[in-house]
């Protein structure tokens, strides 16, 4: 059953009663590389969604690119890098996948799962090797062995997770596009259902045969004997929002919590008072029916004076939330700031981690990392 995130639900957001992320006062680089920007993070997780212990290491992945002085260019050079979180600091351990010939141009967001001594990476293959700068998207995966030092090694060649297209979803195979307006088939997030042991990929999608251009969806595929099989989306937002980005599911106290992130600019006209934020819905089964958390679906938003401060929130089984510092320190900048000023205000590093608390249909922020 596909559930719908409706305009009526979004319209109940009370901007005076929103859980706001505290204002970030410092962009800490720690052991990250100078001259490189970082965004869209996720931990290596166990199959149950908890952050994995990789032989004593806490390992994460993030999209990175050289800092070209224009944040918009990062999407066209994105590579997945391995990060280690150690004593509250981040350390860059280099590219995750070997530099080998592949049919795509760059790597966009996904998830990673550890089972015994095997690590599986599910990610977005963006663009094509034949023609640069495209917005084509496919779900890919690659598998590695966890070495004695806790690092993934001996990666197999990346391969498509899903072959062909489905009438359920937009193919997201158009070369031309514009950020915030493109269609989606990306951000695969692994989920193992404790109810029956079935494995799924939850992903950012666009509803096929939609009534409007604002047709964002949370897609789902189930692992079967012959590979991943696409199922009807678990949630769609036709008429509400173009992008339900970084869609993923967390199992908590017997219920299924679907989370995604989105921006004010991707809402349909008339709904753009809704903030950049983390949104979610809850169900008693993986396929639904889902109802919005906190009545409207909004879980977390940036500070009112810093509406672009952070983005790309991702929730683990422990309800630990990662994100990256986007455009910050804007509270003292005139409303009509120029592009060069915005470039200087781009963070491009991990944001402080957050901790959520869930009680049934209610979800709230309880603390932010201070280390």
pLDDT in tens, 150-203: 999 999 999 999 987 899 999 999 999 988 899 999 999 999 999 999 999 999
Reported as a single tens digit per residue, the pLDDT across 75-105 is 999 999 999 999 989 999 999 999 999 999 9
Burial 357-369 (b: 16+ CB within 10 A, else e): ebeeeebebeeee
What's the half-sphere exposure (Cβ side, CA atoms, 13 Å) at 252?
A: 22
Residue 339 has pLDDT above 70, yes or no: no
Cα 312 from Cα 98, distance rounded (Å): 25
Q: 13-29: per-residue pLDDT in tens?
A: 999 999 999 999 989 89
Residue (of 50, 33, 55, 61) closest to 151 by Cα position: 55
Q: Is the pLDDT of residue 369 over 80?
A: no
**pLDDT at position 371, please?**
45
Q: Do 155 and 140 form a contact (C-beta atoms < 8 A)?
A: no
Q: How far is CA 288 from the centre of its chain?
A: 21
Mean pLDDT of 139-154: 97
| Domain limits, the chain | 3-368
75 closest CA partner among 170, 180, 213: 180
Convert 242-256 to b/e letters by CB count within 10 Å (16 or more is b). bbbbbbbbbbbeeeb
CA quadruple 34, 37, 43, 44: dihedral sign = negative
The model scores a pTM over 0.85: yes
What does the pLDDT look like over 280-309, one tens digit per residue?
999 999 999 999 999 999 999 999 999 999
C-alpha distances in Å from residue 280, one per residue of 206, 267, 306: 17, 15, 22
List the one residue out of 357, 355, 359 whose CA is nearest residue 367: 355
Which residues, 6 or more positions from 315, have their beta carbon under 8 angstroms from its beta carbon? 248, 250, 257, 259, 278, 321, 356
- Per-residue pLDDT of 220-235, as tens digits, reads 999 999 999 999 999 9
Residue 232: burial class (beta carbons within 10 Å; 0-12, 13-18, 19+): middle
Structure tokens at 244: 């339900």
How far are the Cα atoms of 60, 146, 331 from residue 139, in angstroms, in the given order? Answer: 19, 23, 38
Q: Are strands 185-192 and 159-160 parallel, antiparallel or unpaired?
A: unpaired
Using DSSP, state whether 15 is helix, strand or coil. helix
The CB density around residue 340, as the number of other CB atoms within 10 Å, is: 10
Instruction: List the one residue out of 96, 102, 89, 37 whose CA is nearest residue 68.
Output: 37
Q: Could you confirm whether domain 3-368 is CATH 3.50.50.60? A: no
Q: CA 140 to CA 122: how far, in whole Å?
A: 6
Q: Which letter, b or e, does each residue of 329-338 get, where b requires 16 or more Cβ atoms within 10 Å of its Cβ?
A: bbeeeeeeee
Helices and strands per DSSP (H, E), number in the chain: 2, 23
The answer, yes or no, to whether residue 335 has pLDDT greater than 70, is: no
The angle formed by the CA atoms of residues 255, 261 and 265, to the nearest 5 degrees, is 145
Give the up-direction half-sphere exposure of residue 11: CA atoms within 13 A in the CB hemisphere. 8
Beta strands in 209-252 (DSSP E): 216-224, 227-236, 245-252
What tens digit of pLDDT does each residue of 230-274 get?
Answer: 999 999 999 999 999 999 999 999 999 999 999 999 999 999 999
């Amino acid at each position: 059953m596909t559930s719908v995130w409706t305009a009526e639900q979004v319209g109940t957001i009370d901007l005076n009663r929103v859980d706001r992320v505290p204002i970030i006062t410092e962009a800490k680089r720690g052991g990250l590389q100078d001259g490189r920007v970082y965004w869209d993070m996720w931990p290596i997780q166990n199959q149950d969604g908890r952050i994995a212990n990789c032989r004593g290491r806490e390992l994460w992945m993030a999209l990175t690119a050289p800092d070209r002085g224009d944040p918009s260019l990062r999407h066209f050079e994105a590579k997945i890098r391995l990060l280690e979180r150690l004593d509250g600091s981040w350390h860059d351990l280099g590219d995750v996948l070997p530099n080998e010939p592949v049919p795509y141009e760059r790597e966009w967001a996904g998830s990673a799962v550890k089972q015994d001594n095997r690590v599986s990476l599910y990610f977005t293959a963006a663009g094509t090797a034949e023609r640069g700068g495209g917005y084509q998207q496919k779900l890919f995966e690659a598998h590695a062995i966890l070495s004695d030092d806790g690092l993934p090694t001996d990666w197999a060649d990346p391969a498509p997770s899903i072959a062909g297209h489905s009438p359920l979803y937009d193919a997201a195979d158009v070369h031309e596009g514009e950020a915030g307006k493109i269609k989606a088939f990306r951000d695969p997030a692994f989920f193992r259902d404790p109810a029956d042991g079935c494995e799924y990929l939850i992903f950012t999608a666009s509803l096929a045969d939609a009534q409007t251009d604002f047709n964002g969806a949370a897609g789902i595929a189930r692992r079967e004997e012959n590979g991943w099989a696409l199922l009807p989306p678990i949630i769609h937002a036709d008429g509400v929002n173009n992008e339900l980005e970084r869609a993923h599911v967390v199992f908590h106290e017997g219920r299924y919590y679907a989370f995604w992130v989105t921006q004010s600019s991707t809402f349909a006209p008339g709904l753009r008072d809704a903030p950049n934020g983390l949104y979610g819905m809850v169900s008693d089964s993986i396929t639904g029916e889902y109802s919005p958390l906190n009545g409207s679906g909004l879980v977390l938003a940036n500070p009112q004076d810093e509406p672009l401060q952070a983005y790309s929130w991702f929730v683990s089984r422990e309800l630990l939330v990662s994100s990256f510092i986007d455009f910050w320190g804007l509270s003292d900048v005139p409303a009509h700031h120029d592009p060069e000023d915005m470039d200087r205000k781009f963070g491009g590093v991990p944001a402080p981690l957050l901790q959520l608390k869930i009680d049934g249909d209610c979800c709230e922020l309880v603390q932010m990392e201070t280390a």
